[in-house]
């Protein structure tokens, strides 16, 4: 006869399995969210790595409810967090978080790692980061783990019905091609040839995502990399954006959108949705006061010219009103800027997001789901 203790353990295991099963049944109605990319979307994976590319110390996170640094390169929430709000879901956990288990996996996962790029040699100065190829391998491992919980068929449905965000490319310029004068890549390629090479590699990454089941992928383009405070500190006397870095962004952005059109034509649907991050940021930079910002050149947290030198730390100069700054640190937007960016995700014209905005995507996908059920 089973002991009372064993019966209690068995009951707990059964209740746990039932909870996961019920959550799995609800997963068809809820929409999972998966995030890949760099520091613009990393929400804490690098906290678990020995690397210089991390944001787990104050004043990062100063405007979170508990004022705690979370690993997000922001004073508060980043773009994935705000998209999760629009999905009506809790923020996805970093893949390396020990909390990502059981029913938490049904929400999705964030695989992003600060410092990475499209190319494997981007970000090597940060030593220990999760390059995009490894992020995709982790996505495969995630699916195996989830299959063990809810079965392969339910996992496949969850992944195919998920929203995916990928943000890559900026580091391939600022932390590779233009990292130092006469970098290895700049000696190997002219800028037009480098853009072609980077995009050809990106095509393989996006195809791999498709092969892993992704069917709705938001692809963030490169922002105005010549206008971030770090580059202004190095190259600008008066806050004017660096023309060479801007030339790279101007060259890259339309060619990325053309690549996504080609991939969609190949797969017979609007799988890939391109977000023109340069166009979105240009609005803030051209007329910051129109969006309620006091400055689009100086970082809130930093030191030196434009507060763009070095890292944001406890000894940095820190602005009092984060909402009046476009940039939180030398490279990354404030939470308020991120919220305005996501507004363009949700309702922007094709000038900002194409072939349709995220509100349209969500409405179409909900209608398809209702027809299936």
CA dihedral of residues 337, 343, 346, 347 (deg, nearest 10): -140
Active-site choice (38, 81, 242, 329): 329
Is position 267 annotated as part of the catalytic site? no
For residue 247, the tally of other CB atoms under 10 A from its CB is 12
B/e letters for 171-201, b = 16+ CB within 10 Å, e = fewer, are bbbbbbbbbeeeeebbeeeebeebbebbbeb
Active-site choice (38, 39, 113, 131): 39
Active-site choice (56, 84, 332, 359): 332
Is position 332 annotated as part of the catalytic site? yes
What is the Cα–Cα distance from 302 to 228, expressed in whole angstroms?
12
Residue with tokens 């809790």: 90
Is position 39 annotated as part of the catalytic site? yes
Distance of CA 288 to the CA centre of its chain: 24
What is the Cα–Cα distance from 26 to 185, expressed in whole angstroms?
48
For residue 286, the tally of other CB atoms under 10 A from its CB is 11
What is the Cα–Cα distance from 301 to 328, expressed in whole angstroms?
6
- What the block records as the tokens of 185 is 């890549």
List, by residue number, the catalytic residues.
39, 329, 332
């Amino acid at each position: 006869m089973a002991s009372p203790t064993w019966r209690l353990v068995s009951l707990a295991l059964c209740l746990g399995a039932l909870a996961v099963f019920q959550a799995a049944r609800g997963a068809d109605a809820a929409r999972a969210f998966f995030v890949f990319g760099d520091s613009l979307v990393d929400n804490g994976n690098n906290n678990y790595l020995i690397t210089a590319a991390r944001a787990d110390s104050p004043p990062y996170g100063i405007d979170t409810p508990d004022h705690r640094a979370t690993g997000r390169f922001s004073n508060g929430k980043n773009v994935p967090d705000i998209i999760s709000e629009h999905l009506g879901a809790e923020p996805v956990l970093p893949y390396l978080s020990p909390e990502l288990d059981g029913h938490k996996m049904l929400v999705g996962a964030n695989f992003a790692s600060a410092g990475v790029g499209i190319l494997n040699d981007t970000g090597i100065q940060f030593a220990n980061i999760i390059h995009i190829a490894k992020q995709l391998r982790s996505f495969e491992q995630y699916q195996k783990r989830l299959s063990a919980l809810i079965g392969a068929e339910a996992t496949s449905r969850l992944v195919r019905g998920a929203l995916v965000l990928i943000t890559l490319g900026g580091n391939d310029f600022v932390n590779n091609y233009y990292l130092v004068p006469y970098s290895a890549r700049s000696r190997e390629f002219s800028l037009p040839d480098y853009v072609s090479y980077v995009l050809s590699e990106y095509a393989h990454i996006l195809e791999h995502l498709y092969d892993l089941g992704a069917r709705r992928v938001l692809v963030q383009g490169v922002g105005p990399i010549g206008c971030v405070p770090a580059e202004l500190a190095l190259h600008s006397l008066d806050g004017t954006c660096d023309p060479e870095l801007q030339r790279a962004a101007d060259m890259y952005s339309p060619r990325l959108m053309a690549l996504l059109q080609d991939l969609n034509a190949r797969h017979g649907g609007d799988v890939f949705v391109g977000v023109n991050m340069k166009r979105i940021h240009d609005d803030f930079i051209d007329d910051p006061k129109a969006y309620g910002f006091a400055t689009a050149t100086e970082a809130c947290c930093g030191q030196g010219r434009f507060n763009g030198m070095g890292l944001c730390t406890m000894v940095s100069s820190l602005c009092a009103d984060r909402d009046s700054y476009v940039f939180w640190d030398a490279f990354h937007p404030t939470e308020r800027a991120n919220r305005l960016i996501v507004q363009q995700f949700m309702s922007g014209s094709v000038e900002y997001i194409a072939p349709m905005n995220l509100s349209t995507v969500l409405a179409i996908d909900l209608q398809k789901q209702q027809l299936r059920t």
